[in-house]
Structure 1
């Protein structure tokens, strides 16, 4: 029996890969993906603190906007104190909704990657022309604001159509964070040439953990720490990537931030043996020195 296949990459077990190292001879690359998201009021999708009622859904909308008004700023303070870089996954409407927040991340030197227009919509419900236009619109906003085109993309809700990788490559993107099937970057096939897939977590991610599984702040923090320690041990034999996905309206809540900070301190303290970086820097290594080494 032959099942339908995406055709984007072949099966290559992680035990059968060429060896490589990250800059400085390091074996574990760690990046933080901070999701900055804006939602439509009175319509569209969004994570829910409580079951959605009739529109306008003030409670859930306001809870999400707490991240932009408060939580993201507390997260910046924490990252500044620990001298940690970040990859910001930004809805393009954030530039109108919270321009000061986007400017603060720009001033830090954080990478700004594409994350659609708004998390109130999904790409998998769009026709190909609609999706192409949406990607172009979001890309143009980020390019105009940052002075350069974004190199990476994370779809709102990790929702893809059958042609999303093709459209991203055609739009000039160098990497995608949509696929969570590996612990190393791999090359994906598209009709416009190779597109790099960088691991983006669906386990060490506060939405599945806190919202879906209702994990406590301490449980989520312990999950990140155990994941880090295990990957650090595994990476002594094979270079790996660890992504940590954060949403300020979730981890920016004070009690969750306090638990998270303890883990961030441990990771920051390992900077001599771990490459703490941005997703775009990982992509640059894979497109450059490691191009023929990555699976």
Structure 2
């Protein structure tokens, strides 16, 4: 047998119990907006000038554009379309750009813990250091938002082999670190069951735009095609369609212009879509299919 995470059994999607999302909808759609802050002089973080020595001022400033400009334009955009957001938040943003986080709070957006900063990754940390990271990020959100976050996404999408155990131990309900399904999946951990929410590793502006040199139009086309196909597939079983955008990537004006096509297309099918957040989706699924140990 090949090595395995050992956290969930194999399950073909065509053999699962049927269910629906609220309102009898078959497709749940959520948008994850990454709001991030990076340490100046750190080697971690996306480089937009790979031919230049990294880290450098150019790359830090490119990413900082999202906090100063792009994030605000995306708030305006989602206000215009009256759509919710799941905000994947680096908690260093509370000190660095508190006005931006407050604007999401006023909208009622879900705050998902995304570590302290994307300038550090959990994989490679010793377990006590990772436990402290999770505790500090959790406490920061609880202090500012009045409630602890229910969901987690690791900085840089780079969790350790112990992350799920530590998240369950810390009281988290779901993680977004396992992009292996179009339905939520219960994970086994040392701290009890933890739900893995579908997370987009393809309809995500980092791999598509930054890593694969995709154009703004191509990203919009991908998101629209994914929606159309999932609407067809959801006739067989209820599915989750998530898309991930970053304030400093889709938040650029020319990409916002193309992303409007995505939101227009979503609105055309609002009679068939449950527009939601990752957390609301996780809660609904858990109400239908409780964690295995709970029966």
Alignment partner, residue 208 of structure 2? 209
Asked whether the equivalents of residues 45 and 120 of structure 1 are also in contact (C-alpha less than 8 Å), the reply is yes
Root mean square deviation, CA, Å: 1.2
SS of residue matched to 1:250: coil
- Give CA deviations for 1:74-121 in whole Å, capped at 9, x if unaligned: 101110000000000000101011100000000000000100000011
Displacement of 1:262 in angstroms is 1.1
Alignment partner, residue 197 of structure 1? 196
Displacement of 1:71 in angstroms is 0.5
Alignment partner, residue 184 of structure 2? 185
SS of residue matched to 1:5: coil
Alignment partner, residue 230 of structure 2? 231
Alignment partner, residue 85 of structure 1? 84
1:155 lines up with 2:154 in the alignment? yes
Give the gaps of 5 or more residues in structure 1.
none
Displacement of 1:44 in angstroms is 3.5
Alignment partner, residue 273 of structure 2? 274
Alignment partner, residue 69 of structure 1? 68
Displacement of 1:12 in angstroms is 0.6
Give the gaps of 5 or more residues in structure 2.
none
Displacement of 1:290 in angstroms is 3.4
1:215-294 equivalence runs, <5 A: 215-291=214-290
Asked whether the equivalents of residues 203 and 223 of structure 2 are also in contact (C-alpha less than 8 Å), the reply is yes
Q: 1 CA distance for matches of 2:95 and 2:36?
A: 12
Normalising to structure 2: TM-score of the pair? 0.97
Alignment partner, residue 41 of structure 1? 40
Displacement of 1:268 in angstroms is 2.6
Q: 2 CA distance for matches of 1:141 and 1:268?
A: 35
* Number of aligned residue pairs: 292
Q: 1 CA distance for matches of 2:291 and 2:163?
A: 24
1:130 lines up with 2:129 in the alignment? yes
Alignment partner, residue 97 of structure 1? 96
Q: 1 CA distance for matches of 2:117 and 2:87?
A: 14
Displacement of 1:292 in angstroms is 6.5
Change (3 A) 1:184 1:43: same
Asked whether the equivalents of residues 44 and 121 of structure 1 are also in contact (C-alpha less than 8 Å), the reply is no
SS of residue matched to 2:236: coil
Displacement of 1:291 in angstroms is 2.3
Displacement of 1:200 in angstroms is 0.5
SS of residue matched to 1:124: coil
Q: 2 CA distance for matches of 1:193 and 1:56?
A: 40
Displacement of 1:273 in angstroms is 1.3
SS of residue matched to 2:33: strand
SS of residue matched to 1:123: coil
SS of residue matched to 1:32: strand
Q: 2 CA distance for matches of 1:236 and 1:51?
A: 43
Normalising to structure 1: TM-score of the pair? 0.97
Alignment partner, residue 142 of structure 1? 141
SS of residue matched to 1:126: coil
| Mean Cα deviation higher: 39-48 or 95-104 | 39-48
Change (3 A) 1:56 1:284: closer
SS of residue matched to 1:249: coil
- Give CA deviations for 1:20-57 in whole Å, capped at 9, x if unaligned: 10011000000000000000001230111111644661
Q: 2 CA distance for matches of 1:155 and 1:216?
A: 26
